[in-house]
Structure 1
Amino acid sequence: MPKLLHLACSPRAASESAAGARAFLEAFRKARPDWEIDASDLWRDPLPEFEGDLLEAKYARIGGTPFSNSQRDAFAAAERLALRLSLADRVLISTPMWNFSIPYKLKQWLDVIIQPGLTFRFDPTQGYLPLLKDRPTVVILASGSDFVTGMNRGRIDMATPYLREVLRFIGISDVRFVPIGPTAGPSEPIHVARDAAHRRLAEIAGRF
């Protein structure tokens, strides 16, 4: 059965990024009722800390030395997360923008799965090479500012270029970003932005 992996990156069920994901998934289920939705809530699913044995396992792998038993167990947790991504035919990431970039839980997930020999490798003649196959990916990015019309109130969007580059690094280049914003301030611009984003998300989901 084909699979869509949904990474939910907001701690608030009532967040704008979560609402955008619901709009997308409703349309997606109608268009592809035979697909499995693999939902991962990064605030509730356990994520390993990138320290201790897991960190040492990374350097053991870089140095070409065997894992200890504890390092092998720690690295297995990263392998399970990376496998969950690699088995997905499509990916949906719904996230807020925090302090110009992404929530630390999404950064933690990325730091855990981006490991040598797992999602990328290094070749002395070619440099860094991705190990994952490309797959269509949608990133819903909700922000208090409006990055669609340019009314961003002086804020800089560092989340979009970071996510685009870090996903490309592991092999995922077919990425579409759907911003939702503003999510703060007067109610009318919020409603207009939300409705426009939900319409676009439903349209993308119908042929995703």
Structure 2
Amino acid sequence: MINILHVIASPRNEKSISTSIASTYIDGCRKKYPGCTIKTIDVWKDALPEFDEHALNAKYAGLQAIALTAQQVEAWNIIRKIAADFHQADLILFSVPMWNFGIPYKLKQLIDLISHKDILFTFDENGFNGKLMNKKAVLIAARGVNFATGTATPEAEYDFQNSYMLMWLKFIGISDVTIIKAEQTLFGKEAEIEAVKKAFEVAETAVAALNKGMHIELLPYGIK
């Protein structure tokens, strides 16, 4: 049995390219692994707590080995509960649109909530160690223009979506990452239909790669 955690970062629901591709991928996993479980975190619909004064003070109290107050314990327990979904998953699926060359602020809020010592990583005199080793991740990245082959917005300079997500995943211990890019999604209904249509093929290939433990990078459309 495989446990999948799907993190939805788009607020567009069924109109979202990244969410649509993720649904296709999940359908493929259900067919290939009939006993798989799917847990979803929707950063727009789920009530994510603020990383407020009590949470921040709880973080520093823990780093300084100081006893936490009741409010700090409550704030930290909520954070641990959210992070537990990541620990329990075998595969973490992210469906992420690009916003202003990066990721949506609500996804960043989720990452800020759970990225703490003894929750997703540890550190000692030898450096940092991620706690989510031996897990896989699939990153579905939708982008409005063509960053893969475009000249006006070259990927190396403008892409802080994939680069940030890959850095963060590596930091928390996940190095086995499959990337599925959906380029130039701003070209109207026809382009969106084409993207969803090709997502079926992408999902099947990605699921097959998961089974073989391979790393792939797929460009559903916008290839030249």
Same fold (TM over 0.5): yes
Q: What's 1:167 paired with? A: 169
Q: How does 1:89-104 map to 2 (within 5 A)?
A: 89-104=90-105
Q: What's 2:146 paired with? A: 146
Partners of 2:147 and 2:153 within 8 A in 1: no
Partners of 2:140 and 2:179 within 8 A in 1: yes
Q: What's 2:112 paired with? A: 111
Matched residue type, 2:64? G
Partners of 2:24 and 2:199 within 8 A in 1: no
Match of 2:160 among 154, 158, 173: 158
Partners of 1:179 and 1:197 within 8 A in 2: no
- Kindly state the Cα deviation for residue 206 of structure 1 after the two structures are TM-superposed: 4.2
For 2:62, what is the secondary structure of its paired residue? helix
What whole-Å deviation, never above 9, does each CA across 1:133-172 have from its counterpart, x for those lacking one?
Answer: 2311101011101233x12642611111110111111111
> What value does the CA root-mean-square deviation take over the aligned residues?
1.8
Q: Distance in 2 between matches of 1:23 and 1:152?
A: 30
TM-score (structure 2 length as normaliser): 0.85
Q: What's 2:2 paired with? A: 2
For 1:64, what is the secondary structure of its paired residue? coil
Partners of 1:27 and 1:205 within 8 A in 2: yes
Quick one: structure 1 residues 72 and 145, their matched pair in 2 at CA, closer, same or farther if it must change by over 3 Å?
Answer: same
Q: What's 2:36 paired with? A: 35
More displaced 10-residue stretch of structure 1: 41-50 or 70-79 = 41-50
Quick one: structure 1 residues 153 and 187, their matched pair in 2 at CA, closer, same or farther if it must change by over 3 Å?
Answer: farther
Which ranges of structure 1 fall in alignment gaps of 5 or more residues?
none
Q: What's 1:57 paired with? A: 58
Count, aligned residues: 206
Matched residue type, 1:69? A
TM-score (structure 1 length as normaliser): 0.92
- Kindly state the Cα deviation for residue 194 of structure 1 after the two structures are TM-superposed: 4.4
